[in-house]
Amino acid sequence: MTGREKVEAIVHNWIEIDLSALRHNFAEIKRRAGAGVEIIPVVKNNAYGHGAPIIAGELVRLGVRTLAVSKMDEALTLRRGGINLPLLVLSGLEGNEYGDALEHNFMPVVFSPDQIEVCNMVGRDRDRRFPVHVKFDTGMGRLGFMISEIDKIIEVLRKSPYVQVDGVMTHFADADNRSSTHILEQLTCFERIIKILKSEGIFPGRIHASNSAAFFLFPQSHFNAVRPGLALYGPAHFAPDLKPVMSFKSRILQVKDIPAGHSVGYGRTFIAPRAMRIAVVSAGYGDGYFRCLSNKAEVIIRGVRCPIVGRVSMNLLTVDVSHVPDVVPDDEVVLLGSQGHECIGADELAEKAGTISYEIYCRLGANPLKRIVKFTGEEE
Ligand SMILES: *Cc1c(COP(=O)(O)O)cnc(C)c1O
């Protein structure tokens, strides 16, 4: 092998990204936001595993002005992928990232006086104002200033002429709970913060608080900008009319008949109660599928739901296809997504796996070497 030969290999499992579903979800969000509310899509963690440059590229075409990522390296990945919008860095900047961030038009979220001072110094060196989003912890107990610190922050901002407050923000702890009163307390606190800043002559710029759940369930949380992530990628209990963007698919390697009493997979967790037909599928926990879905989840083959039997292995899993006629090796298997009239959503897998749809997307989308991405819905 010189390394120059063209090596062909069959792809055994892959995710598909449906950009027309993304467009649908964005349009739904836009319609509900109404005029005057800016949408700042969250594309952190490689767009929740969907592929940040591609998702961001589509959102740029749909007219967004700013995107949010978690860290500076994600922002750089987007720049290298040709995304030229201002990028909001939700987890803030560290160490020596500030200079390059300003050059690249990245806006950090700031949550300590030191960060504001560094931005001011870096801005002064370059004779440019450094845009920042000031984050308040109104009840999430994570990043952000406490309201008790507001006098100090106002003082620091006054002494930082090279810092431009481009936005003021907070984040909700309990927004997907329709009957939450905690979110109402957070809103009251946030409104008070905005009022104090304004009365002290600090123009807050873009005021934003809503993640997807708050956006759909609590319209009073919209202010003049919103930060949806999940809702762009798929339906959730608070927004069922959205469409899933990601599918995860694989193929059958072997179809076999086993007699009653034969066990399937590691640990012999499944013993055939009768003669059965088993399909061996070319995907496992090494490909991002959850091992805890062993003997729990279903897949779709030939438009029919088939239960996983036995343990999910690293790169294989086994399903009962006794009730599906004509199953043969190489048949397509849908582990997440739809086929025919059946659909397996991320929420369904998440509930069975004891997690949330976010983690399903992040894991299935985590390993670019183990899958190809097919783009569907390009036309239209
Ligand atoms: C991830 C994140 C969001 C988006 O949350 P979703 O629930 O996916 O809509 C918004 N704001 C912040 C600060 C985040 O970290």
Confirm whether 353 is domain-assigned.
Answer: yes
What CATH number does residue 201 fall under?
3.20.20.10
Last residue of a domain, one of 205, 232, 259: 232
191 and 82, same structural domain? yes
Backbone angles phi, psi at 50, to 5 degrees: -85, -10
Cα–Cα nearest to 336, from 349, 322, 323? 349
Confirm whether 196 is domain-assigned.
Answer: yes
The two tokens of residue 90 are 């939700």
User: Which residues sit with their C-beta closer than 6 Å to ligand 1?
Assistant: 42, 44, 90, 171, 211-213, 227-231
Closest ligand 1 atom number to CA of residue 230: 8
The residue whose CA has the least distance to atom 15 of ligand 1 is 90
Ligand 1 centre and the CA of 265: distance in Å?
Answer: 39
Percentages helix, strand, coil for the chain (3-state, rounded to 5) are 35, 25, 40
Cα–Cα nearest to 50, from 350, 336, 260? 336
Closest ligand 1 atom number to CA of residue 109: 13
Is the sign of the CA dihedral 192, 193, 195, 199 positive or negative?
positive
Bridge partners for 290 per DSSP: none
> For the chain, what is the radius of gyration of the CA atoms?
24
143 and 86, same structural domain? yes
> Residue 374: its pLDDT value, please?
64
Ligand 1 centre and the CA of 275: distance in Å?
Answer: 49
**Using CA atoms, how far apart are residues 114 and 116, in angstroms rounded to an integer?**
5
201 and 59, same structural domain? yes
State the angle between helix axes of 72-80 and 52-61 in degrees (0 to 180), rounded to the nearest 10: 70
44 and 186, same structural domain? yes
**Pairing state between β 332-339 and 342-344:** antiparallel
Mutate to test the pocket of ligand 1, among 135, 212, 227 (most ligand atoms within 8 A of CB): 227
> Residue 9: its pLDDT value, please?
77
Last residue of a domain, one of 232, 265, 290: 232
Ligand 1 centre and the CA of 146: distance in Å?
Answer: 19
The two tokens of residue 45 are 């963690």
Residues in the chain: 380
- The secondary element (H helix, E strand) that includes residue 14 is strand 13-18
154 and 66, same structural domain? yes
CB atoms within 10 A of CB 279: 26
279 and 153, same structural domain? no
67 and 157, same structural domain? yes
Last residue of a domain, one of 206, 232, 258: 232
> What's the DSSP call for residue 146?
-
Would you please indicate which residues are annotated as catalytic (active-site) residues?
Answer: 44, 266
Is 169 known to sit in a ligand binding site?
Answer: no
221 and 252, same structural domain? no
220 and 252, same structural domain? no
Is 314 known to sit in a ligand binding site?
Answer: yes
CB atoms within 10 A of CB 360: 27
24 and 88, same structural domain? yes
144 and 30, same structural domain? yes
**Using CA atoms, how far apart are residues 291 and 293, in angstroms rounded to an integer?**
5
The two tokens of residue 80 are 């290298």
253 and 228, same structural domain? no
Give the number of C-alpha atoms closer than 13 A to the C-alpha of residue 318, restricted to the C-beta side: 22
Mutate to test the pocket of ligand 1, among 40, 42, 87 (most ligand atoms within 8 A of CB): 42
> Residue 1: its pLDDT value, please?
46
Confirm whether 369 is domain-assigned.
Answer: yes
**Using CA atoms, how far apart are residues 210 and 170, in angstroms rounded to an integer?**
8
Ligand 1 centre and the CA of 173: distance in Å?
Answer: 11
| Domain region containing 129 | 19-232
What CATH number does residue 265 fall under?
2.40.37.10
Closest ligand 1 atom number to CA of residue 211: 9
Overall domain count for the chain: 2
Confirm whether 47 is domain-assigned.
Answer: yes
Name the stretches of the chain with pLDDT < 50: 1, 379-380
Cα–Cα nearest to 133, from 38, 30, 33? 38
The amino acid that residue 43 corresponds to is: V
